[in-house]
């Protein structure tokens, strides 16, 4: 005999596992600090790479001017501006990454808690079915 409660619960769990649960289950392998640090490291690498590409494009765009003023140009001052802007951008992105990924991890934990409770409920339903079958009870 089919158990409607069990079927509904299994369907709900399968949908969660296939959609939003995939990432939540992967996240569960990490402690919060480790997960946030990994994501911040990815952010730092991405921002640095993007910043370098933007600087390269700007440099190529203004290459003629830079070449014509190479002797009189104040490269130290330019380097200070570039480094200062990089530090400001990096601080903004790191702060955003820490806050964003901490919130994401916390929300993931809430959903996983509900998921594990549902798994426990499903396990109890299976246990009840086995006990009823063993004792000879029919529903």
Domain range list for the chain: 4-11+33-130
**Residue closest to 40 by CA, chosen among 121, 78, 95, 89:** 95
Terminal C-alpha separation, the chain: 8
Report the sign of the C-alpha dihedral through residues 13, 18, 23, 29, in that order: positive
Q: Quick check: 101 and 14 in contact, CB under 8 A?
A: no
CA 14 to chain centre: 21
**Hey, what's the torsion of the CAs at 46, 47, 48, 51, to 10 degrees?**
120
Q: pLDDT averaged over the chain?
A: 88
What integer pLDDT is reported at residue 19 of this predicted model?
A: 82
Q: What pLDDT band is residue 137 in, cutting at 50, 70 and 90?
A: low
Question: Quick one: pLDDT at residue 3?
Answer: 72
Least confident of 22-26, 63-67, 79-83: 22-26
Whole-Å CA distances, 55 to 16, 71, 74, 85, 94: 43, 21, 17, 11, 20
Average pLDDT of the segment spanning 65-84 = 91
111 in Cβ contact with 28 (< 8 Å): no
More confident residue, 89 or 121: 89
Which structure tokens are listed for 18? 């296939």
- Six-digit token pair at 21? 């649960």
Whether this model's pTM surpasses 0.85: no
């Amino acid at each position: 005999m089919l158990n409607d409660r069990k079927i509904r619960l299994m369907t709900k769990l399968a949908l969660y596992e296939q959609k939003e649960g995939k990432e939540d289950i992967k996240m569960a392998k990490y402690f919060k600090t480790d997960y946030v640090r990994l994501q911040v490291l990815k952010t730092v690498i991405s921002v640095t790479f993007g910043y370098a590409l933007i600087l390269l494009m700007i440099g190529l765009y203004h290459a003629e001017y830079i070449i014509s003023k190479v002797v009189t140009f104040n490269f130290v001052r330019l380097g200070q501006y570039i480094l200062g802007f990089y530090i400001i951008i990096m601080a903004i992105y790191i702060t955003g990454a820490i806050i964003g990924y901490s919130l994401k991890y916390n929300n993931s934990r809430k959903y996983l808690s509900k998921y594990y409770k549902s798994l426990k409920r499903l396990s109890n339903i299976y246990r009840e079915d086995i006990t009823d079958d063993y004792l000879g009870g029919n529903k």
